[in-house]
Amino acid sequence: MALVTATSAAGGIRAPRPAGLKRLALYPALIFTAAFFVLPLAVMLCISFTLRDKGVTVDWFTFANYRAFVERGDGVLLQAMVNSLEVTAVVTVLSILIAYPIAYILAYRVPARWQRLLLVLMVLPFWTSYVIRSYSWLLVLSENGIINRLLTGLGVIAEPIGMGNNRGATILGFVHFFVMLLTLTIYSNLVQIKESYRRAAADLGASPWQVLLHVTLPLSLPGVAVGAFLTFVLCIGDYITPQILGGSKELLMPQAIMRQVGRTADFSMASALSMILMGVVIIAFLFSARRLRMDRL
Amino acid sequence: MKRNLFGRPPFTRRQFLGSSAATLAAVGTMTAMPRAGRADDELNILVWCDHTDDRLLQPFAEKHNVTINVKDYQETGAALAILEQSQPGDWDILVVDSVDVARVAERGLLSELKAADMPWGDVFPELHRTDLNFIGDKQYGMPEKFGYHGICFNKAKVDIAQLRKTSAMWDPQFAGRVAVYDYYIPTMEMVGMGIGITPGTMNAENLPAVREKLLEIKKLASVIGDVPTVQNALITGAADIIVAGGEFAVTNLTADNPDLDWIIFDEGSVFWMQSVCVFANSPRQALATEFVKYILSPQPQAELATASCYWAMPANRNATLPDEIKKLLRWDEQPGFLAKSHPYFVPDEELNAKMLEVWTEFLQA
């Protein structure tokens, strides 16, 4: 492999860089990103400022769709965003609270030879279809499902309890999925922390809790931040889980977007709502990147 | 200056702009390039999921020695989006909600069908509605399948006698056991019918009354959703009835769940209808028209009625349905059902927007 070593103006040695044809290897990724991400996004942004009536574009630049987001139907679309943020916040916090102890035990309590096997077992549910996993939860939580049958069989409850088709079921489905993701990101961060740091703290008289709170936890925050950010992004934009498990008794933002497309084909409004959702994700990214130093990961 | 993993700026601004311009130009060129022509032995159909079974399409494909390429979609908006991204001549056949035939035809997308060549004599007379499949005296769609919005129920838990009146939709005895089919026009018409608003006469003045009743139903609802969602609710016990459900929601489930049934109210129902159309730019007009006639013939009508995706009534009265299927579809009750049923109405854009707002509020309440 032909590598070029360059010397900087200050006389330091630069890292080797690919030369000539090797740099062309970057172009496929650039072209792909430009063609299938930047360009469609730009088109969608432009469409979001148009206004359609009877399937025809009647205004080529207007903020009407963005105003409608706030004003339409006494704020039902705004409420969809609030619902999405609430669900996403609960899912992210719950997933972190569950995933961190799992990742900690995996990294520090489980013998190294078992760690890989347990990690594989952890991600096994990833191998099943997302849709099938959601429907499986619906069957588990349903009135005729395994939990209700068990509880009624044991005499704990007289009548089946409706556990599916609500926000709780949506959150459960999300948490089940994102705990796996967060466990992986936190685990990969924990195993990078030098053992000597934790030993030094212990030698200086720190209790195991103090080591966790003052050494391990701060150093593992980048892993938590990356996992939390991915959870936030994937959760807030997900259509399938709330559609299957939520029973459509309240709208989340992706469902509100889909409703603009379905019968009326109002792509202008759907684009505007998508751009608003993307704005929220960007804010979340900036918060994660600046406050939690994701770049250190 | 920030450097990449290789210790140097990945691209200068000039390089970045140059690369981006080249990329966009390449994408634009690819988009503008003429696509390879279609083979002569292909028929491209844009249809609902009930037209995807081999047992329906294979006999036509074999007889005419063509390959039928199928693309299925769910809602008219999605179909229009597909068409906007297609080239003229890409598609031959469209299956669409009958209330949307005029909407598609007005865009110049549909070919006129010669009414005299169509098997109208075999079709239920109540389906012969010039306000749906015609614009003026020109026909653009042929009704091929229809069904009712009434109420579905679990016979093991609910007595059919409790469901004869439209007031069953908001009867408190079903609190927490109600699934609502998530399609605003027929469901709002059904609710309107229950409070004395004749289907087709909904307007901005009587819409608030429908809204009030919908919010009453919302308090009783355990699930609101599309067909698979409300079907699941009935099967898993999350609901005992489906408001605005009909044969399309339960008849294909009865083999495994014989307690599932459906009925329309004494006051009547709203019926839906789907039509098969030929695209104006289809290069295979004659073959596409033959396909329309084929779909309307007795045996394909029976296959269409019992499609693996969903069952419903064949438009052809002479469809060769087995007796056990006729019983599930309440075939013998058709004359009475049709006599007291109303087709979907097509609200104007302003009313449609208001109805959607009410429906969104209903979902969000």
> What is the DSSP annotation of A46-62?
HHHT-EEETTEEEESS-
B1, B2, B20, B23: best to mutate for the A interface, most A CBs within 10 A: B23
Bridge partners for B110 per DSSP: B279
Domain range enclosing A103: 73-296
Task: List the single range of A14-18, B119-123, B237-241 with lowest mean pLDDT.
Answer: A14-18
Contact A263 B77 (CB under 8 A): yes
The CA-to-CA distance between both ends of chain A, in Å, stands at 28
Residues in chain A with CB shorter than 8 Å from the CB of B24 are: 34, 39
* DSSP conformational letter for B94: E
pLDDT bucket at B365, cuts 50 / 70 / 90: confident
Contact A39 B223 (CB under 8 A): no
pLDDT bucket at B95, cuts 50 / 70 / 90: very high
Contact B19 A143 (CB under 8 A): no
B36 contacts chain A (CB < 8 A): no
Contact B237 A73 (CB under 8 A): no
Residue of A nearest to B74 (CA): A262
Q: Are A227 and A180 in contact (CB under 8 A)?
A: no
Shortest CA distance to A166 belongs to which of B228, B213, B245, B238? B238
Residue of B nearest to A146 (CA): B236
Q: Are B75 and A262 in contact (CB under 8 A)?
A: yes
Within a domain: residue A262? yes
Q: What's the CA gap between A61 and A54, in Å, rounded?
A: 17
SS3 at position B16: helix
B72 contacts chain A (CB < 8 A): no
Residues in chain A with CB shorter than 8 Å from the CB of B78 are: 261-262, 265
pLDDT bucket at B318, cuts 50 / 70 / 90: very high
Within a domain: residue A213? yes
B42-146+273-325: CATH architecture: 3-Layer(aba) Sandwich (3.40)
Residues in chain A with CB shorter than 8 Å from the CB of B232 are: 135, 138, 142
3-state helix, strand, coil in chain A (%, to 5): 70, 5, 25
Q: Are B191 and B297 in contact (CB under 8 A)?
A: no
Residues in chain A with CB shorter than 8 Å from the CB of B157 are: none
- Number of Cβ pairs < 8 A linking chain A and chain B: 125
Q: What percent of chain B has pLDDT over 90?
A: 78
Residues in chain B with CB shorter than 8 Å from the CB of A53 are: 349
Contact B364 A80 (CB under 8 A): yes
B174, B236, B354, B357: best to mutate for the A interface, most A CBs within 10 A: B236
Contact A247 B229 (CB under 8 A): yes
B329 contacts chain A (CB < 8 A): no
Q: What's the CA gap between B8 and B19, in Å, rounded?
A: 18
> What is the DSSP annotation of B23-60?
HHHHHHHHHHSPPPPPPTTEEEEEE-GGG--HHHHHHH
Mean pLDDT for chain B overall = 89
Contact B361 A76 (CB under 8 A): yes
Q: What is the pLDDT along chain A (297 residues), one digit of tens a residue?
A: 344 444 444 445 555 665 667 778 888 999 999 999 999 999 999 999 999 876 678 889 999 999 999 988 778 899 999 999 999 999 999 999 999 999 999 999 999 889 989 988 888 877 888 889 998 998 899 888 899 999 999 999 998 888 989 999 999 999 999 999 999 999 999 999 999 999 999 999 999 999 999 999 999 998 999 999 999 999 999 999 999 999 888 999 999 999 888 767 788 999 999 999 999 999 988 887 776 665 555
Residues in chain A with CB shorter than 8 Å from the CB of B5 are: 15
Q: What are the tokens at A80?
A: 């969809």
pLDDT bucket at B5, cuts 50 / 70 / 90: very low
Whole-number pLDDT of residue B4:
42
Within a domain: residue A180? yes
Q: What's the CA gap between A82 and A99, in Å, rounded?
A: 25
- Structural domain total, chain A: 1
Q: What's the CA gap between B229 and B179, in Å, rounded?
A: 9
Within a domain: residue A21? no
Q: What's the CA gap between A169 and A90, in Å, rounded?
A: 12
Residues in chain A with CB shorter than 8 Å from the CB of B107 are: 55
CB atoms within 10 A of CB B149: 30
B25 contacts chain A (CB < 8 A): no
Residues in chain A with CB shorter than 8 Å from the CB of B363 are: 248-251
Residues in chain A with CB shorter than 8 Å from the CB of B10 are: 26
Q: What's the CA gap between A258 and A254, in Å, rounded?
A: 6
Helix count (H) and strand count (E) of chain B? Answer: 14, 13
Q: What residues contact A198, with CB distance under 8 A and at least 6 apart?
A: A211, A215, A216
Whole-number pLDDT of residue B338:
94
Whole-number pLDDT of residue A280:
95
CATH of the domain at A286: 1.10.3720.10
β-strands A17-18, A3-4 pairing: antiparallel
**Looking at CA atoms only, how far is residue B144 from chain A in angstroms?**
21
Contact B19 A72 (CB under 8 A): no
Q: What residues contact B121, with CB distance under 8 A and at least 6 apart?
A: none
Within a domain: residue A64? no
SS3 at position B345: coil
What confidence tens digit (pLDDT) does each residue in B207-223 have?
Answer: 999 999 999 999 999 99
B12 contacts chain A (CB < 8 A): no
Contact B224 A249 (CB under 8 A): yes
Residues in chain B with CB shorter than 8 Å from the CB of A256 are: 360
Residues in chain A with CB shorter than 8 Å from the CB of B106 are: none
B176 contacts chain A (CB < 8 A): yes
Evaluate whether the domain defined by B147-270+345-364 bears CATH number 3.40.190.10.
yes
Q: What are the tokens at B357?
A: 């707002």
Chain centroid, CA A291 distance in Å: 18
Q: DSSP E strands: which ranges in chain A? A: 3-4, 17-18, 51-53, 56-59
**Looking at CA atoms only, how far is residue A74 from chain B in angstroms?**
8
Q: Which has more confidence, A166 or B23? A: A166
Bridge partners for B313 per DSSP: B146
**Looking at CA atoms only, how far is residue A263 from chain B in angstroms?**
4
**Looking at CA atoms only, how far is residue A2 from chain B in angstroms?**
13
A54, A76, A147: best to mutate for the B interface, most B CBs within 10 A: A76
The CA-to-CA distance between both ends of chain B, in Å, stands at 53
Helix (H), strand (E) at residue B241: strand B241-245
Q: Which has more confidence, B96 or B38? A: B96
**What is the C-alpha radius of gyration for chain A, rounded to an integer number of angstroms?**
24
Residue of B nearest to A75 (CA): B361
Residue of B nearest to A243 (CA): B225
The segment(s) of chain B belonging to CATH 3.40.190.10 are 42-146+273-325, 147-270+345-364
Within a domain: residue A290? yes
Contact A264 B352 (CB under 8 A): yes
Residues in chain B with CB shorter than 8 Å from the CB of A27 are: 19
**Looking at CA atoms only, how far is residue A13 from chain B in angstroms?**
9
Contact A265 B78 (CB under 8 A): yes
Helix (H), strand (E) at residue B270: strand B269-278
Whole-number pLDDT of residue B111:
97
Within a domain: residue A285? yes
